[in-house]
Chains A and B, each alone.
Chain A
């Protein structure tokens, strides 16, 4: 039994990554694992307001993950969902190794050079640490729409 790991951040563009992951799992007849890592800042969690926000975000993530799992099952793919709190890069690398994943499916956001220098990208860090192939699904601006559309989607 082979596994495909699909780490998702549940932001815009996730639908395309999920779609490609399901398509690949269908073709190679592998099990699909949706992984969502909640990066929980320790200091922020101490204040009540932040803790409440984090709890609400985790609840939403849980629901969205189950929806993704259901959509994969509907398309005839054996899917599992996993929600973990911790460092996203470390968790993705750890889960890939633990499940002996055939490959990892990740989205590539088109950040600018300054963003990558200051904040970095999860994909880049994962690529340096895993030994299995990584399927990179480009999430370009054309898919996300204009900035106005994106902000409208976030705050309708």
Chain B
């Protein structure tokens, strides 16, 4: 069965990441594995949050307003360096995709993704799906040349 690995850090983008991962999992008929790489002192706090997210797998009503079918899946809590653990789990589970969120650095000149996501992209054995942290973007027009003349459709 195809596995979609979903590393979560319980930031603002996490519900969007889990929702998109559930959508893809449902479409391709695979299984979704929520992975939280945690620190020893945060285990209890993060465990509660992970249980909340498991609703995406079991199809709880609050996380699934459109009443979509529940997806097959699992949740993991591991200790260690996030990027390394995510890559190891992706290899072990033979993940088809890794679904992660981007950080909210829209108006800065630096990279659009955080350090963990950058390391995961560099070492990933499979494609990485990045879900943006923001839902609305300022409408931007295409360059003038396109508006004048599409070359080939």
- 13 A–B contacts from the bound complex (CB under 8 Å): A24-B127, A38-B151, A40-B145, A80-B153, A82-B153, A84-B142, A84-B145, A84-B151, A105-B127, A131-B132, A131-B134, A134-B129, A136-B129
| B143 adjacent to A87 (CB under 8 Å) | yes
Closest to A131 in B: B137
Known: A28-B27, A131-B136, A135-B97. A86 touches B128 (CB 8 A): no
Q: In whole angstroms, how far apart are the Cα atoms of A76 and B7 in the complex?
A: 32
Q: In the complex, which residues of chain B have a beta carbon less than 8 angstroms from the beta carbon of A97?
A: 137, 139
> How long is the Cα–Cα vector from A29 to B27 in the complex, in angstroms?
8
Residues of A within 8 A of B28 (CB): 27-28
Could you mark each residue 93-129 of chain B with 1 if its beta carbon is under 8 Å from any beta carbon of chain A, else 0?
Answer: 0000101001001100001110000000111100111
Which A residues touch B146, using CB under 8 A?
84-86, 91, 94
B65 interface contact, C-beta 8 A: no
Q: Is B54 part of the contact surface with A, judged by Cβ < 8 Å?
A: no
Best-buried of A20, A131, A136 by chain B (most CB within 10 Å)? A136
Instruction: Kindly identify which residue among A28, A90, A116, A138 contacts B24, using a CB–CB cutoff of 8 Å.
Output: A28
> What residues of B have a CB within 8 angstroms of the CB of A87 in the complex?
142-143
Q: Which residue of A lies closest to B26 (CB)?
A: A28
A129 closest partner in B (C-beta):
B137
The answer for the CA separation of A35 and B102 in the assembled complex, in Å, is 24
Q: Range of interface residues on chain A?
A: 35 or more
Q: Which 4 A-B pairs have the closest CB atoms?
A: A86-B143, A127-B112, A94-B142, A27-B28
Cβ B112 vs Cβ A124 within 8 A: yes
Chain A residues with CB below 8 A from B99, complex form: 133
A8 is an interface residue with CB less than 8 A from chain B: no
Pairwise interchain contact B152-A81, C-beta atoms closer than 8 A: yes
Partner of B129, one of A124, A125, A135: A135
Nearest CB on B from A21, distance (A): 9
Tell me the smallest distance from the CB of A18 to a CB of chain B, in Å: 12
A43 proximal to B (CB < 8 A): no
Across the interface, which residues of A come within 8 angstroms of B112, CB to CB? 124-125, 127-128
Chain B residue contacts of A95, Cβ below 8 A:
142
Chain B's closest residue to A26 (CB) is: B28
Q: Are A127 and B152 in contact (CB under 8 A)?
A: no
- Give residues 113-152 of A contacting B (CB, 8 Å): 116, 124-125, 127-138, 140
Which of A62, A131, A132 has the most chain B CB atoms closer than 10 A to its own CB? Answer: A131
Q: Is A135's CB under 8 angstroms from B140's CB?
A: no
